[in-house]
Structure 1
Amino acid sequence: MTEQNEKEFARNLGRAIADARRAKGLTQEKLADVIGVEQESISRLERGVTLPSLSRLMRIADVLAVPITSLIRSSSGRPVDQAQDLVEKLNELSGEDRAWVRRWVEEICAKLALQHRQ
């Protein structure tokens, strides 16, 4: 992983943690208190200044009641991770809505592929 990729991953992971924390209705201070760190540590994680250790990330995921894989996958730039993230979102939709999204994505991909060939 290049330094630029690591920085982008850290920012995306921080954003995913912040989104999950807000969805759970927790402040940075409360999350910090529950996992036993200073509020500034949570702020630095959420801003992408630092990456959490694996054990800390596991603790954060437990407190926020989200799968650790969802935090990592949503932060990844790898196509396979992005695809899996989309699969999980599609699974939440009705069959009719999934079919609509699939048609829409196929149209957009075809248009983008055509633009890149020109």
Structure 2
Amino acid sequence: MNQQQEQDFYLQIGNNISAARKAAGLSQEILGDQLSLSRASIVNIEKGRHRLMIHVLVEIAQALKVDLSTLLPAKKVTQDSGKLVAASLSNNIITDQEKVDPETARAVERFVSFLNNK
């Protein structure tokens, strides 16, 4: 994935988070409070300036009561060059799986599978 594709990827995630937050009727400040993040952090996430860790993305999906896949880009992101770093559940991306609802766990597994199949 080149730099522009990476920026587009995180911008799309941010746009999806913003749309889901607005659909849920939450302000950036309220969402930030629910996640123990500042409003500025939420702004940066929604603008695609922040590279989210998977557990934060899962927490955002849970706070917005949406499936994790709703927040991910709809189109497949292609990799032109560079090294793609993939993580898996076996590497403890979700360390306490019993605390994550099954739907979110499946969404993370699909995401990891997507990364592994690149």
Fold conserved (TM > 0.5)? Answer: yes
- Structure index of larger Rg: 1
Helix, strand or coil for the counterpart of 1:52? Answer: coil
1:4 corresponds to: 4
Corresponding residue pairs, total: 78
- Please provide the CA RMSD for this pair: 1.5
| Correspondence 1:25 to 2:10 | no
- Which residue of structure 2 lines up, in the alignment, with residue 37 of structure 1? 37
Q: List 4+ stretches of structure 1 deviating above 3 A.
A: 76-79
| Corresponding residue of 1:70 | 70
Distance 1:43 1:63 in 2: 16
Counterpart in 2 of 1:14?
14
After TM superposition, give the deviation of residue 73 of structure 1 in Å.
3.6
Q: In the TM superposition, what whole-angstrom CA distance separates every residue of 1:72-116 from its partner, at most 9, and x where no partner exists?
A: 143x4449xxxxxxxxxxxxxxxxxxxxxxxxxxxxxxxxxxxxx
Instruction: State how far apart, in whole Å, the 2-side matches of 1:4 and 1:23 are.
Output: 28
| TM-score normalised to structure 2 length | 0.62
Q: Residue 100 of structure 1 corresponds to which residue in structure 2?
A: none
CA distance in 2, matches of 1:31, 1:69: 19
Could you list the runs of 5+ residues in structure 2 that have no partner in the other structure? 79-118
Q: How does 1:67-106 map to 2 (within 5 A)?
A: 67-74=67-74, 76-78=75-77
Following superposition, the deviation at residue 71 of structure 1 comes to 1.0
> Contact 1:9 / 1:77 at 8 angstroms: preserved in 2?
no
Structure 2 SS opposite 1:34: helix
User: Partners in 1 of 2:43 and 2:76 — Cα distance?
Assistant: 23
Give the number of the structure whose residues are more often helix, by fraction: 1
Q: Which runs of 5+ in 1 are unaligned?
A: 80-118
How far apart are 1:62 and its partner, in Å? 0.3
RCO comparison, higher one (Cα < 8 Å, 6+): 2
1:47 paired residue number: 47
Normalised to the residue count of structure 1, the TM-score between the two structures is 0.62
